[in-house]
Chains A and B, each alone.
Chain A
Amino acid sequence: MTALDFTTHTIPLEGKSKISAKNVNLWYGEKQALHNINLEVGENQVTALIGPSGCGKSTFLRCLNRMNDTIPSCRIQGDISIDGDDIYAQSLDVVHLRARVGMVFQKPNPFPKSIFDNVAYGPRLHGLSESKDHLEHIVKSSLERAGLWKEVSDRLLSPGTGLSGGQQQRLCIARAIAVSPEVILMDEPCSALDPIATAKVEELIDELRENFTIAIVTHSMQQAARVSQRTAFFHLGVLVENGPTEGIFTSPIDKRTQDYVTGRFG
């Protein structure tokens, strides 16, 4: 095996940066999963993280709301800040961080509760609603923004697990935006969905960009090209290249990026 190539080609972000990762290294036990990652995520943009399986893109995404904290063997080094606040600072409460940085998972994971209770889960947790009417308003507007309201408005009290896969995933998105986060992380949100449901979720992501900063991990390069403004390519735990999406797909700088986006490996 040849030695790892640690070079990162970055075309600097234009506009305001929301999340800034500096010199991030991460280990699972003895194995180093991320090598010296430096990445800026632009505000009100969709940033796609692409790369072959096991390249560290999901791991990096989970660093951004400290979901890796739940894995005991995980050790992390470096600085990640959101609007300049260090998210690994001692003083920071992880609960508050996760209210600011929502997450949508690969497999739709609605709670075995009613549709209403699924969406109301976060607001209730953080005491966001002053009254019952207000809570209903939050639920309704979250479902509307997730494009699900028309389909479920007449059965809010039936279980969320009874929806179709695509509807479940949009329910999870509604659940995430109900707490009004600033950033939404999506870990392959469409990998368990059929093409029609995928198209709907992609459309939704494009709309959400207005109000939220989005980072999305995807295996589909077409999806990355369709929804994102900037793309970061990971390979073997190294951030190889990041820049405007169009540039990554039409004129990649690094040979590894070129090989990947043209389908030569991965």
Chain B
Amino acid sequence: MPTYILIATILVLSVIGYYMGRSTAVARNGGKSKGLHSLPGYYGYYMALWCALPALALAFLWLVFQNSIIEGMVLGGVDVQNPSLFMTDVKNYVENGIASGGVTDTLVAAADRYVSLKQYSAIMLSIGAIALAVVGLAYSQTRVGPTLRSRPKVEKALMIALMAASTIAILTTVGIILSLLFESALFFEKVPLTEFLFGIQWSPQTAMRADQVGSSGTFGAVPLFAGTLLITAIAMAVAAPIGLMSAIYMSEYADRRVRSVLKPLLEVLAGIPTVVYGFFAALTVAPFVRTLGQSVGLDVASESALAAGVVMGIMIVPFVSSLSDDVMTAVPQAMRDGSYGLGATKSETIKRVILPAALPGIVGAVMLAISRAIGETMIVVMAAGLSANLTANPFEAVTTVTVQIATLLVGDQEFDSPKTLATFALGLVLFVVTLILNIIALRIVRKYREQYE
């Protein structure tokens, strides 16, 4: 029986279990649902869960372990030099009728054994799982009755399911951190930590051949950090004032109709794919900046930090404006009334009451926007350039941490050279910085929430 039919069967059994649970509970309560500990439906869910969960768990574990067990049994009967290659041959022979080392008698025998074991396993699984489902049904039906507290039990099962769902997200994060840590450790075996963090020369191309010239590979990441910082600073110089001012307009001046149109429109900016921003920056803004610079006698590189930073700033305007607008709208009307009642005008009220009250929230919004800007990749890949210049001049091309990660990992790469491993170290730095920023931002926002009520 194929696995999907097995799973469908178990599910059908559990649906049957649901109706059995309902009717059994009602029948054992003298034919009425009043007086049962829980609503009849909960007895249904109780039986359905007892039917489905053990059987599905068995099937899952079986499928996880069956391959290695079967392969062990097949290989146990033969004597070959390279077991994993032989196993691949067996599977290829079974599926396609070909094998790399030619079809031998041993191979054919092993293939037969493999096929029969697989069939046997599938039959056993079907019997076992369906039997377990039926046993679960029978057992739970004996327990169904007016006094069984089925509702708390069902709700507990639900809670565990919810917990499992949230655990997946956490485990993924932990997995990412661990992989970053391990790969970075490999990198730091080859390149000292101090050189990476404090070196000012970034030239990650390593020699492929011993006699290659000029590709020693130096991994001083300071130019990347400086470039990231420069572009982030430019982006925030654009996003913070524009975002804050539009938030003030939306929350305090715009009437409700204007706001209901304007806010979604601004949020559309956040929905534009970053790659679109990227070529907008590279093909429209960068040449514009260059011509503008030339017209006032400045020498601007065709890929400048300014172009990338400005476009990135536009991209994160909605982060600042939307969150700031929310916190400013959350300032109670009573505060505004109090201020107006003392003879303050609208702008005085905004300046002296609303902005100070909303400041922690606004700072939180800006922090989130900064961490977004630091991690942004596509715009800088396309518009900021690749040269690792250590400069504070916004008209020059710079490169960022994310750009280097992207370019170093594009294409086929060997994963044991410092060049590719460096990306993990860069990723780790990026992760730590944005994590710290996010924690600070969330703390500030939370503190703000406690201020009223």
Contact = CB atoms under 8 A, between A and B. Distances in A.
Interface of A: 65, 67, 70, 72, 95-99, 102-103, 105, 107, 109-113, 121-122, 125-126, 161, 172, 175-176, 179
A121 B341 contact: no
A109 B338 contact: yes
A110 B334 CA distance: 9
B334 A161 contact: no
B11 to A, nearest CB: 56
A181 B211 CA distance: 90
B255 interface: yes
B353 interface: yes
Contacts of A96: 343
Contact of B341 (A105, A107, A161): A105
Nearest to A97: B343
Contact of A111 (B255, B338, B340, B348): B338
Top 8 A-B pairs, shortest CB-CB distance: A98-B343, A109-B334, A103-B341, A99-B343, A122-B342, A109-B338, A95-B343, A112-B357
Contacts, number: 65
B342 A121 contact: yes
Interface string B436-451: 0000000000000001
B335 interface: yes
B341 A125 contact: no
Contacts of B334: 105, 107, 109
A126 B340 contact: no
A65 B339 contact: no
Interface residues of B, number: 21
Given A125-B348, A172-B338, A113 B356 contact: yes
Contact of A72 (B255, B332, B353): B255
Given A72-B255, A109-B332, A112-B356, A125 B451 contact: no
A125 B255 contact: no
Interface string B320-340: 000000000000101111111
Nearest to A111: B353
Given A109-B334, A121-B352, A125-B343, 19 more contacts: A67-B341, A95-B344, A95-B345, A97-B343, A98-B343, A102-B341, A105-B337, A105-B341, A107-B334, A110-B338, A111-B335, A111-B338, A111-B353, A112-B357, A113-B356, A121-B344, A125-B344, A172-B338, A175-B338
A116 to B, nearest CB: 14
Most buried by A among B336, B338, B451: B338
A176 B343 CA distance: 10
B237 to A, nearest CB: 29
Nearest to A94: B343
Contacts of B255: 72
Given A95-B345, A111-B353, A67 B335 contact: no
A110 B342 CA distance: 12
Given A105-B334, A107-B334, A98 B352 contact: no
Contact of A122 (B332, B343, B356, B451): B343
B451 A105 contact: no
A137 to B, nearest CB: 19
Nearest to A175: B342
A49 B357 CA distance: 33
A67 B348 CA distance: 16
Contacts of B348: 125
A172 B339 CA distance: 11
A67 B337 contact: yes
Contacts of B336: 70
Contacts of B332: 109
Contacts of B340: 67, 70, 98
8 contacts: A70-B337, A105-B341, A122-B343, A125-B342, A125-B348, A126-B343, A172-B338, A175-B338
A111 B343 contact: no
A111 B339 CA distance: 8
Q: In the complex, which of the residues A98, A107, A112, A126 has the most CB atoms of chain B within 10 Å of its own CB atom?
A: A112
Contacts of A99: 342-343
A193 B334 CA distance: 17
A192 to B, nearest CB: 11
B258 to A, nearest CB: 12
A157 B104 CA distance: 92
A125 B350 CA distance: 13
B294 to A, nearest CB: 50
Interface in B334-385: 334-345, 348, 352-353, 356-357
Contact of A65 (B335, B338, B341): B341
A65 B342 CA distance: 10
Contacts of B339: 111, 121
B338 A105 contact: yes
A105 B340 CA distance: 12
Interface in B421-453: 451-452
Contacts of B335: 109, 111-112
A107 B332 CA distance: 11
B448 to A, nearest CB: 10
Nearest to A178: B342
B212 to A, nearest CB: 65
Contacts of A102: 341-342
Interface string B392-429: 00000000000000000000000000000000000000
B124 to A, nearest CB: 69
B359 to A, nearest CB: 10
B344 A176 contact: no
Contacts of A98: 340-343
Given A109-B332, A109-B334, A176 B345 contact: no
A172 B343 CA distance: 14
A97 B344 CA distance: 11
Nearest to A126: B343
Contacts of A175: 338, 342
